[in-house]
Amino acid sequence: MGFFDDICNRHWCEELECACGTDVVLFTADGFTFFGLLDRIEDGILFLLPASCERSVIVLTPGGALEDEELSFIDICIIVAISKNVCKNPFHRIQES
């Protein structure tokens, strides 16, 4: 991971790398929440693809709005929490409203 080992917590980086290839929910310090497949990490940037059951990466904004993205790039240093091996869209009820 290069220079990001010096900036970010090494254990957190290892935890995120272990989650590659699985559907995850990521929570960021700026209030965004992402649901998708954690594809890979390069130079401190996470590549999030659509989850196995979805057509796009689903983003819940701090204001409560849902947005769809084809691909998300997330700075590893703003991630505050991760939920791994998520089986289905956690925002399904919000989308129905």
Split at pLDDT 50, 70, 90, the class of 1 is very low
Measured between alpha carbons, how far is residue 11 from residues 16, 26, 53, 68, 79 in Å? 9, 16, 29, 30, 13
Task: Indicate if the pLDDT at residue 96 is higher than 80.
Answer: no
Say what the pTM is.
0.85
The string of pLDDT tens digits covering residues 66-91 is 999 999 999 988 898 999 988 888 88
- Structural domains in the chain (count): 1
Task: Indicate if the pLDDT at residue 23 is higher than 90.
Answer: yes
Range of the structural domain that residue 35 is part of: 4-96
The string of pLDDT tens digits covering residues 29-71 is 999 999 999 999 998 899 999 999 899 999 999 999 999 999 9
Q: What is the CATH number of the domain that holds 71?
A: 2.30.30.100
Higher pLDDT, 23 or 13: 23
